[in-house]
Amino acid sequence: MHSSLERPLPKEDLKELAKLKLKESLIESKLALEYLDKGIVRNAAGKAFQAWKALISALIALNFDRLSKDLREEQKEWLREKGILAPTSKLKPLSQMLEEKAELKGLSAWTDKALDLHDYQYNGPDPDLVFSKYTDSETAFEDVKLLLKTLVEYVERYKDLLDEEGLKLLDELKNALSSA
- Full DSSP string of 49-86: HHHHHHHHHHHHHHTHHHHHTT--HHHHHHHHHTGGG-
More confident residue, 10 or 5: 10
Rounded to whole angstroms, how far apart are CA atoms 98 and 82? 15
Q: How many helices (H) and strands (E) does the chain have?
A: 8, 0
Residue 175 lies in a domain: no
Is 43 buried (19+), middle (13-18) or exposed (0-12) by CB count in 10 A?
Answer: middle
Rounded to whole angstroms, how far apart are CA atoms 34 and 41? 10
Residue 22 lies in a domain: yes
Which structural domain, as residue segments, surrounds residue 112?
12-168
CA within 13 Å, CB half, 75:
11
What end-to-end distance do the CA atoms of the chain give, in Å?
26
Helices 14-37, 41-62: inter-axial angle, 10-degree rounding: 160
Phi (first) and psi of residue 113, to 5 degrees: -65, -40
Residue 1 lies in a domain: no
The pLDDT value recorded for residue 3 is 56
Whether pLDDT at 118 is above 60: yes
For the domain that residue 50 is a member of, what is the CATH number? 1.20.120.330
Domain count, the chain: 1
Residue 138 lies in a domain: yes
**pLDDT tens digit sequence for 67-117:** 999 999 999 999 999 999 999 999 999 999 999 999 999 999 999 999 999
Residue 5 lies in a domain: no
**pLDDT tens digit sequence for 6-55:** 667 777 899 999 999 999 999 999 999 999 999 999 999 999 999 999 99
